[in-house]
Amino acid sequence: MSINQNVHIIGRFYNEMWNQFDKRLFPTLLTEDIRFRGSLGQSALGYGEFGQYVDYIRNAFPDFKNYIKDVVTEGDKSFARLTYKGTHQGEIFGIPPTHKAIEYTGAALFHFRDGKIAEVWVLGDIYDLLRQLHGD
């Protein structure tokens, strides 16, 4: 798999799938046994569990958007630096909706297999997110 393919798939993962909450793209972009670990403490295995995580984020931030800042690739692994934005409209971390606009940074490590994303490990700046939700 080439560097350009990795970058293209990551772009589709965020711009087409996540930013549109389009779970129909799972079979195109993800292996069936996708392993996902999010910075919000959730882990998911396979389309079903990952789809539940996508719904969880959509419920909390219906306008959630991912902005790719950098992608670095070596072999079958890529690292993306990101900015996340949205409006807090549903409960998250036990915090009821605040209707505040949030913006925080993070990164994701991707592992590819057979031209698809097989594993994603995300680490977002949760402390900054919580600070914004609490109004500090």
The residues facing 3 across adjacent strands are: none
Which strand (E) or helix (H) includes residue 49? Answer: helix 46-60
Summarised one tens digit per residue, pLDDT across range 25-82 is 999 999 999 999 998 778 999 999 999 999 999 999 999 999 999 999 999 999 999 9
Taken as a whole, the chain contains a residue count of 136
Q: CA 9, CA 133: separation in Å to the nearest integer?
A: 31
Q: Nearest to residue 60, comparing CAs of 88, 40, 93?
A: 88
Which two structure tokens, joined as six digits, stand for 13? 């993962």
Which amino acid, residue 59?
Answer: N
Q: CA 75, CA 72: separation in Å to the nearest integer?
A: 10
Which two structure tokens, joined as six digits, stand for 66? 């991912």
Model pTM score: 0.92
What CATH number does the domain located at 3-134 have? 3.10.450.50
Residue 136 confidence class, pLDDT cut points 50, 70, 90: low
Q: Which three-class secondary structure state does DSSP give residue 27? A: helix
Summarised one tens digit per residue, pLDDT across range 110-128 is 999 999 999 999 999 999 9
